[in-house]
Amino acid sequence: MTEKTQAAVPPARQAASQSTSQAELAARQFGSQADAYVASRVHAEGGDIAELAALVQPGARVLDLGCGGGHVSYAAAASAGAVTAYDLSGDMLAAVRREAAARGLANIETAQGPAERLPFADESFDVVLCRFTAHHWQDVRAGLREARRVLKKGGVAGFADVVAPEQPVFDTFLQTFEMLRDPSHVRDYSSAEWVSFAAEAGFSTTALTRRRLPLDYAAWIARMRTPPVLADAIRALQAAVSDDVRRYFEVADDGSFVIDTAVFTLRPL
């Protein structure tokens, strides 16, 4: 009788076997808070939603790419013939279906998957809309290429997102507190990067609207269920940075602050 001894698994391989992909992390982060994002006033309100919805012509087929709580879908549904709310998180899509039913919006359907690999045929949509989600994509260039692929000739796309300041120190501060609050964060891109990425994907940027978005610190932290140790790190970072950084982000005594956002209107080249 022989006895075999199983070799110990190296710690690095143990960690790898328990690892989570960026896509899985994003789905988990937002899926657990789906109803909070449906109810969030920050996500439900804003001039950017009206600007995106204004791109929808009567009867258009619309893709809401990375729909989150579905607020762009609800706004677009008033004019669209059909809206496909598309997201990585199944829990988020379930919340969107419940809310759409509650609002009596029968022209909203849902589909699940990553932005970088859309399960739709070429030229399937008249309009592609996307709000506050591209900074979670693993590959924003691939996501834009896919958006261009599924958009019909003569169609229009509208992308709204947080944008990074051009000044490196402000950019570094933004990316750092975004990651501390939400580890699924990938990157907020500058307006110049957005225009460049869009051109690479086959789009012309025909309009760019800049806005400043105030964020209540307590609600911002609660919405993502940021652990106290990381929330404290954000507050410590806010206290440690230069006066120039605090002024730019308008950091208040309670931690609330203001960030830059933009809407990019894109047309196929």
Q: Which CATH number belongs to the domain containing residue 87 in this structure?
A: 3.40.50.150
Q: Which residues contact 90 (CB under 8 A, 6 or more apart)?
A: 27, 31, 112
Q: Is residue 174 part of a domain?
A: no
At 43, is the secondary structure helix, strand, or coil? helix
pTM of the full predicted structure?
0.85
Q: Is 78 helix (H, G, I), strand (E, B) or coil?
A: coil
CA angle 194, 209, 156 (to 5 degrees): 70
* CA gap 90, 96 in Å, rounded: 10
Which amino acid is residue 42, in one-letter code?
V
Residue 99 maps to a domain: yes
Specify if 230 maps to a domain.
Answer: no
Would 161 be classed as within a structural domain?
yes
The pLDDT of 59-86, averaged and rounded, is 97
Give the structural domain span for 75.
Answer: 21-165+184-215+258-268
Give the residue carrying structure tokens 């209107």: 265
Assess if residue 171 is contained within a domain: no
Judge whether 87 lies within some domain: yes
For the stretch 222-248, pLDDT in tens is 988 999 999 999 999 999 999 999 999
Is pLDDT above 80 for 29? no
- The verdict on residue 118 lying in a domain is yes
- Integer-rounded Cα radius of gyration of the chain: 20
pLDDT-derived band of residue 34, with 50, 70 and 90 as boundaries?
A: low
**Residue 30: band (very low, low, confident or very high) from pLDDT cuts 50, 70, 90:** low
CA–CA gap between residue 206 and residue 263 (Å, rounded): 11
Task: For the chain, report the end-to-end CA distance as a whole number of angstroms.
Answer: 73
| Residue 13, pLDDT above cutoff 90 | no
Asked if the model's pLDDT at residue 19 lies above 60, the reply is: no
123 lies in some domain = yes
Number of folded domains that form the chain:
1
Kindly state the average pLDDT of the residues 147-175: 98
pLDDT at 187 over 60: yes
Question: What is the pLDDT of the chain when averaged over all its residues?
Answer: 89
